[in-house]
Structure 1
Amino acid sequence: MKSRIRMKGNLRAYMQLPLYWTGFLVLLTVPAYILDWRLGVGATGFTLIYFCAELILYLNAKPKLASEVINFATRYATVQKHLLNEFEIPYALLDYNGKILWMNQEFRGLTGVDQGYHKSITSLFSSLTKEVLQKPEFPHDFYVDTEEKHFRVAANHIYFDTVADHSALMSIENSEEFLIAIYLFDETQLRHYMQENEDQKLVSALVYIDNYEETMSSIETVKQSFLTALVDRRVAQYFGKVDGLVRKVERDKYFVIFRHKFLAQLEEDKFKVLEDVKAIKIGNEVPITLSIGIGLSGETYTENYDAARAAIDLALGRGGDQAVLKNDAEITYYGGKAKEVERNTRVKARVKAHALREILESRDNVIIMGHSLTDIDSLGAGIGVYCAAKFLGKKAQIVINNPTSSVRPLLETFVPEAGYPEDMFINSEEALEALNYDSVVMVVDTNRPSYTECPELLKRANTVVVFDHHRQNSEVIENPTLSYIEPYASSACEMVAEVLQYFDDNMKIEPAEADCIYSGILIDTNNFMQKTGVRTFEAAAYLKRCGVDVSRVRKKMRNDMDAYKARAEAVRRAEVFRGAFAISVCPGEGIESPTIVGAQAANELLNIVGIKASFVLTEYNERIYVSSRSIDEINVQIIMEKLGGGGHMNVAGAQLEGYTIEQAKEVIMQTLDSMLEEGDIVV
């Protein structure tokens, strides 16, 4: 259908006004006929002559007027086109599908094409696709780059029915859907200045020597000052390469500031100073290790320093020998490959014991909980805290939702017939009812709120205490009244046993309670073969003095036949990956605690010659639980962190959701390949 040009608005009314006067003249002929018929005939003749003359003039003038209007519009459009052509901002007009219809000089100069180029804009800028251009709202932060410049793209949709408003002279019918006008704003300098501003920002960092006392006590006195000087020099030289300022604030602490643009360089070499300092050997038996905390993206220097403090606390809480970058909520870890160093001093345990006593004495009741799927270490630590609360005459309850077969034999010891209250063990609903303003919630064997038996307790409680031996991650329990996290400890039970020794000289725990705590140490150390130190055996000796019966403990920790067969099947089905990693699947059908069996299978696989790390996958409750173990060569903790889990250097785990068993195995293999290529692990 052909488009018709027609007049509208004021122009149409102006042109047709003389014709409207004909109606007025017709009305005048009526009184003329009344006065005199001859006068009426004359008026009628005049009206006809007037109408014919005006109609002829209207029909002759309309094309001429339309031509003049079009000529004016054409000249006006020519002026507009000339202005757009010389517009300093690159501009182009596209059709509905993104095909170039017209572009100005700046756009042609930028793209290097001529005016006859009518291909799709995508051929010039691959990111400017038809789908992006046709979106109702074009992205505000859309950018395209050339070899030397950076442009922000703005786009407008031009609909023909909105080109002219109601006061326009003419309209065009049957238009296309819309055209697209794009503008390229040169933000090269702006981005340069923004990047320069970002590069010049000062980054705060804290550098701590993890094991200062232990290292100094392992060398002769005359060499101690020399060792300190070597560490000072390595730290100063390392940050000096990036124009950093290093100031020693204590004998084992440094404060460092440097410009943000050098951070990428430090990340690229993965904070090599960690390895450089460990390489210092002047007779010290214990390698010296560093922890680094770096704070970023604060609006002020104080905020950056606070972020650095949080980062260094996280690094120390994870066992040290690593760098932690805290960028708002994003946390990045580097290092952490060294084995945690056991502290010989018990000062910290004594201080924590006294602090715990003060908290318990000031509260009405104690609610104790560990992680979900309570294991023996979590239960044993809870029993230890229960003993402390009972000694002070405080009501204590332990939250366990679904006891597994591994802990049920121990739970059966604490029955009313043995003198224990019926409500010693409660579920989450009962715990929430028991919680009041003066309650203290004691979390053991985990420091992640989402892993606890009842996360809602942590949100409602006014006083929270955390005792754990796992390395901290980005997810932590916020603002605890007391936090005692020691990654060097073999188990939460070991930590609690140490605290109980300093809780009160007159405190005595029952043999059944000591059995439970001892069992936790036994399980987490794999019968004292993993992650044991002097203090582990001292804690076991204390429990033995309290009446531990090893035979009684062994009977309570025996597996049933189905669990034993499942463990054997997991060992039988193991696959060896890269000649050093054993990966297997533990069958969970008909087993009450398949995750426990999976962990046992992972320990068994380490008895095979050549296996440096084991990974056992267990499907349970629509999740896949990964148990990972190693002896000393592979840090499985950093491997599990890649999968969202954590743990220790030799004992770690993770939980995967939304994966099948085969997909989970593939993810583990890909993670191992990636870490081998990057040098994070070495076989």
Structure 2
Amino acid sequence: MKDKLFTWADNRIYLIIMALMVLILAFFQPIVAFIMALVVGYMVFYTHRKIEEKNRELTKYIEGLSHTFDSAAKHAIFNMPFPLSFIDDVGNVTWYNTPFLELVGGGDVLNRSISELIPAFNITELSRKKENEPLDINYMDKCFKVLPNFIEGKGSFAKGNITMLYWVEDTDYQHLLKMYTDEKTIVALINVDNYDDVKNSTPDTHRPMVLAEIDKVISSYFGKYNGLVRKYENDKYLVLVDHNGLMDIKTKRFDLLDQIRDLNMGNTIPITLSIGVCQAGKTLLDSYRNANAAIDIALGRGGDQAVVNIGNSFDFYGGKSKAMEKRNKVKARVIGDALRQLIDQSGMVFVMGHKNPDMDSIGSSIGVMRAVENRDKKAFLVLNGENPSIRNLMDRMRQEAPELEDKIINGEAALEIIDDKDLMIVVDNHKPSLTEAPELLEKTNKVVVIDHHRRGAEFIKDPVLTYLEPYASSTSELVTEVLTYMSAETNLTKFEAEAMLAGITVDTKNFSFQTGVRTFEAASVLKRAGADTTVVKQLFRDDFSTFINKAEVVRSAKMVFDKIAIGRLEVTNDDSILIAAQAANELLNINDVEASFVLSKLDDKIHISGRSLGNISVQLILEKLGGGGHLTSAGAQIEKLSMNDAEKLLIDIIGKFLKEGEKK
């Protein structure tokens, strides 16, 4: 009776009072009390009958209301204007309404798998959805947002649940969205990388034909995709094309790069383009700015490629040719003057390379330290620890230049003393996450970047000075050039010159790769400063165990795709990365090997060292794994994968890379 509106409990207090009055009256007037007891009894009987009647009426009313509600709910479900279905925990249909039956084309639907009826429906994907989180399904040229409602269980698709699926069609919206997206204006900027070189090296009789052909090829290429091309400088173009056209161009992987490179109208050197595209701009002005940022990255990576800015990330196309060496030294002179002024205007100067530094990182850092000392400023080298790659150099430093060791501090010590008046110079790296101490970059507003790697999507924010030259052999080469323009006398000590020469030597593989005229000019400057090539060679000597492990990697390496060698260093020690890099270099000495990759394990990560003779870009391959580097030398690190899984992933990426090359 507790759930009813009228109960005896509601009148309990009155009955108790009347009973007490009868008892008191019985003590003084028994006859009157007897009469009163009869009256009270009648009142109790009458009240009980009235309560029962009221309760019966209330019950009939509630039952009638429930029946009406159930009928309305059933009517609403059965006659819902959009498809509705119930499935069990394995995805079998347990109930459906008429619109759902019409959707799947009629027939026997009950107890059949929803994935069988609608192939686009993914049960696994449904299991990841929350209550009313839509699942997008395309079926029979229609688009649906399927909203799951979990009737049993605790709000997820699990065993024992019955899931109600609401099929809400949004075909018109999706078509409208596609139409809007396809017609959205895309801004692209194009630079002819080597316009002056092509112009000056082409005979006078052919020069007008070559320059006209460049315009013609670019205009006709984008004309096929309804694009508008406007030339606003001799070597620069602005392109407007719709999103649909961009998707077609991306499908063909910007084959304009190949068409221009293959152009032969009397020019003696290949013509290359850099293309910057913004795919995710909100306004035309915003798109133009983002396209500018994209073309800066393309130029920073050496040109001959397209970079598509899609908001929070970048897509890269091309970049398979070697960066052309620029013979103009004006930029080096300008950088030298600007760096001298920045050092003079700063308090202290901090120099920082990348994590797990190599000879080039340390050598270029030592060169920058010399530049700072020449300006009578206090300098510190940020280094969190030694590794086998630089151990021999650091041991020689302790013997020949102990004063330099006193200027080496770790990231924590640097963080305590640096302020916004100090200057931070980052060498041999441009990615904040790969620096020795990324938090230092937030402590000062003045950051200089000197690097020779092709620019990646991640870049130090707002540096006051950037010297990024991917054509250079090494950062040590760039620093040597800058030193010669900063002052009449470089004042390099013998040890400093040998450290920088070691940096050039390691990145050029003993002057055999990525070596240009300016590389030898820089080496001659260091040689005049007292660098001894015999001493430099001794810095690369290995101990016996390192030599044996390197030999074992080469012995156990295997060939894939007939021209790529893959080796594995099964031994885990502090020298793993060094051994992997050296083994990758050794594998290139084998006939028919055009590129090599060596996998090693260190600190729960799989490290991959890639080397190439130049026909295959190991940089583009390892960028797919989050790494980077150069056309002929690159590296990457993979987390949460075993050695076997990492090797399979690498082989798969190499296969896709080679397939894209064959399509061209």
1:675 aligns with 2:657: yes
1:601 aligns with 2:583: yes
3-state SS of the aligned residue for 2:461? coil
CA distance in 2, matches of 1:433, 1:670: 46
Cα offsets for 1:22-80 (capped at 9, x unmatched): 99998998899899988876766666667667767876897687557645653564455
Partner in structure 2 of residue 138 of structure 1: 131
Partner in structure 2 of residue 256 of structure 1: 239
3-state SS of the aligned residue for 1:583? strand
CA distance in 1, matches of 2:232, 2:212: 14
Gaps of 5+ in 2: 153-159
Q: 1:658 aligns with which of 624, 635, 640?
A: 640
Say if 1:118 and 1:61 are closer, same or farther in 2 by CA, change over 3 A. Answer: farther
Q: CA deviation at 1:520?
A: 1.5
1:632 aligns with 2:614: yes
Cα offsets for 1:110-129 (capped at 9, x unmatched): 34458995777676567878
3-state SS of the aligned residue for 1:221? coil
Q: 2:288 aligns with which of 286, 300, 305?
A: 305
Instruction: Please give the residue correspondences for 1:533-548 in structure 2 after superposition, counting only pairs within 5 Å.
Output: 533-548=516-531
Q: For residue 444 of structure 1, what is the amino acid of its counterpart?
A: V
Cα offsets for 1:607-655 (capped at 9, x unmatched): 1111111112233343333221111321111111122211111111222
Is residue 132–residue 149 contact of structure 2 (8 Å, CA) maintained in 1?
A: no
CA distance in 2, matches of 1:90, 1:562: 70
Say if 1:50 and 1:149 are closer, same or farther in 2 by CA, change over 3 A. Answer: same
CA distance in 2, matches of 1:116, 1:680: 47
CA distance in 2, matches of 1:526, 1:116: 68
Say if 1:55 and 1:148 are closer, same or farther in 2 by CA, change over 3 A. Answer: same
1:340 aligns with 2:323: yes
Q: CA deviation at 1:318?
A: 1.0
Q: For residue 150 of structure 1, what is the amino acid of its counterpart?
A: C
Cα offsets for 1:223-258 (capped at 9, x unmatched): 222212111111111111111111112111111111
CA distance in 1, matches of 2:99, 2:77: 10
Say if 1:58 and 1:334 are closer, same or farther in 2 by CA, change over 3 A. Answer: same
Is residue 574–residue 584 contact of structure 1 (8 Å, CA) maintained in 2?
A: yes
Is residue 103–residue 115 contact of structure 1 (8 Å, CA) maintained in 2?
A: no
CA distance in 1, matches of 2:161, 2:366: 74
Partner in structure 2 of residue 168 of structure 1: none
Say if 1:509 and 1:331 are closer, same or farther in 2 by CA, change over 3 A. Answer: same
3-state SS of the aligned residue for 1:614? strand
CA distance in 2, matches of 1:76, 1:646: 66
Q: CA deviation at 1:100?
A: 6.5
Cα offsets for 1:270-295 (capped at 9, x unmatched): 01101111010122222111111111
3-state SS of the aligned residue for 2:205? helix
Is residue 82–residue 166 contact of structure 2 (8 Å, CA) maintained in 1?
A: yes
Range moving further from structure 2, 35-44 or 79-88: 35-44
3-state SS of the aligned residue for 1:501? helix
Is residue 210–residue 266 contact of structure 2 (8 Å, CA) maintained in 1?
A: no
Range moving further from structure 2, 559-568 or 229-238: 559-568
3-state SS of the aligned residue for 2:249? helix
CA distance in 2, matches of 1:383, 1:195: 56
Say if 1:91 and 1:665 are closer, same or farther in 2 by CA, change over 3 A. Answer: closer
Is residue 634–residue 681 contact of structure 1 (8 Å, CA) maintained in 2?
A: no
Range moving further from structure 2, 616-625 or 78-87: 78-87
Q: 1:614 aligns with which of 582, 596, 599?
A: 596
Instruction: Please give the residue correspondences for 1:75-154 in structure 2 after superposition, counting only pairs within 5 Å.
Output: 75=68, 77-79=70-72, 81-91=74-84, 104-113=97-106, 117=110, 137-154=130-147
Is residue 477–residue 519 contact of structure 2 (8 Å, CA) maintained in 1?
A: yes
Range moving further from structure 2, 672-681 or 430-439: 672-681
Q: For residue 342 of structure 2, what is the amino acid of its counterpart?
A: I
Partner in structure 2 of residue 222 of structure 1: 205
Say if 1:394 and 1:178 are closer, same or farther in 2 by CA, change over 3 A. Answer: closer
1:441 aligns with 2:424: yes
Q: For residue 504 of structure 1, what is the amino acid of its counterpart?
A: S
Is residue 424–residue 446 contact of structure 2 (8 Å, CA) maintained in 1?
A: yes
Q: 2:340 aligns with which of 357, 360, 379?
A: 357
Instruction: Please give the residue correspondences for 1:27-106 in structure 2 after superposition, counting only pairs within 5 Å.
Output: 66=59, 70-71=63-64, 73-75=66-68, 77-79=70-72, 81-91=74-84, 104-106=97-99
1:271 aligns with 2:254: yes
Q: For residue 304 of structure 2, what is the amino acid of its counterpart?
A: D
Partner in structure 2 of residue 514 of structure 1: 497
3-state SS of the aligned residue for 2:328? coil
CA distance in 2, matches of 1:402, 1:518: 22
1:531 aligns with 2:524: no
Partner in structure 1 of residue 267 of structure 2: 284
Say if 1:156 and 1:609 are closer, same or farther in 2 by CA, change over 3 A. Answer: closer
Is residue 19–residue 51 contact of structure 1 (8 Å, CA) maintained in 2?
A: no
1:427 aligns with 2:389: no
CA distance in 2, matches of 1:222, 1:541: 39
CA distance in 2, matches of 1:613, 1:657: 23
Instruction: Please give the residue correspondences for 1:136-285 in structure 2 after superposition, counting only pairs within 5 Å.
Output: 137-156=130-149, 182-285=165-268
Range moving further from structure 2, 135-144 or 616-625: 135-144
Q: CA deviation at 1:108?
A: 4.0
How many residues get paired? 658
Instruction: Please give the residue correspondences for 1:475-624 in structure 2 after superposition, counting only pairs within 5 Å.
Output: 475-586=458-569, 593-624=575-606
Q: For residue 642 of structure 1, what is the amino acid of its counterpart?
A: K
CA distance in 1, matches of 2:42, 2:114: 62
Is residue 132–residue 138 contact of structure 1 (8 Å, CA) maintained in 2?
A: no
Is residue 102–residue 115 contact of structure 1 (8 Å, CA) maintained in 2?
A: no
3-state SS of the aligned residue for 2:406? helix
Range moving further from structure 2, 662-671 or 272-281: 662-671
Q: CA deviation at 1:317?
A: 1.0
Is residue 444–residue 466 contact of structure 1 (8 Å, CA) maintained in 2?
A: yes
Range moving further from structure 2, 24-33 or 478-487: 24-33
Q: CA deviation at 1:432?
A: 2.6
Q: For residue 415 of structure 2, what is the amino acid of its counterpart?
A: L
| TM-score after normalising by structure 1 | 0.85
3-state SS of the aligned residue for 1:150? strand
Cα offsets for 1:496-539 (capped at 9, x unmatched): 11112222234442333222222211221112111111111122
CA distance in 1, matches of 2:605, 2:91: 47
3-state SS of the aligned residue for 1:679? helix
Range moving further from structure 2, 17-26 or 649-658: 17-26
| TM-score after normalising by structure 2 | 0.87
Say if 1:27 and 1:555 are closer, same or farther in 2 by CA, change over 3 A. Answer: closer
3-state SS of the aligned residue for 2:232? strand
CA distance in 1, matches of 2:112, 2:561: 52
Partner in structure 1 of residue 374 of structure 2: 391
